[in-house]
Amino acid sequence: MTAAITVDVQQLPHGTGLPLPAYQTAHAAGMDLLAAVPDSSPVIIEPGKYVMVPTALSIALPPGYEAQVRPRSGLAAKHGITVLNSPGTIDADYRGEIAVLLINHGSAAFAIKRGERIAQMVIAKVEQAELVAVTSLSETGRGAGGFGSTGR
């Protein structure tokens, strides 16, 4: 196991009383993000519609890292609820509130209640690339084949 990195997290006022994201098992890759909606006003996602759900969290990632916002498999399998822009990317220099763009691919309306686990957040190392313009690329056995070109 690698050493954990430190990520500063700020809980915004509308998240008061909600726990911070946490890994649910010893080897989990993602931490659950919770909905920071009012107790009295669950967010209803109608079939085929999408909504932005607040988490009341802002983070400060170290340079060279990103946070990925990914769907929770249980919500997808049981209700057709998933993250629309999956994976969503939170850059190391972003300091705004993390929000989760959820879509309902199911056949029934779904209510997002306060404190509900709506997505998972994975912290990952990233590299920035320097692009170099060239007039041709090296040859490979695959060439330009894509989108099912291997026959599978």
Give me the domains of the chain, ranges plus CATH numbers: 8-125 (2.70.40.10)
Share of the chain above pLDDT 90, in %: 89
**13: number of Cβ within 10 Å:** 7
**Which pLDDT tens digit goes with each residue over 1-10?**
567 899 999 9
Running DSSP on this structure, what letter comes out for residue 23?
B
Which pTM value belongs to this model? 0.88
pLDDT at 44: 98
pLDDT at 152: 62
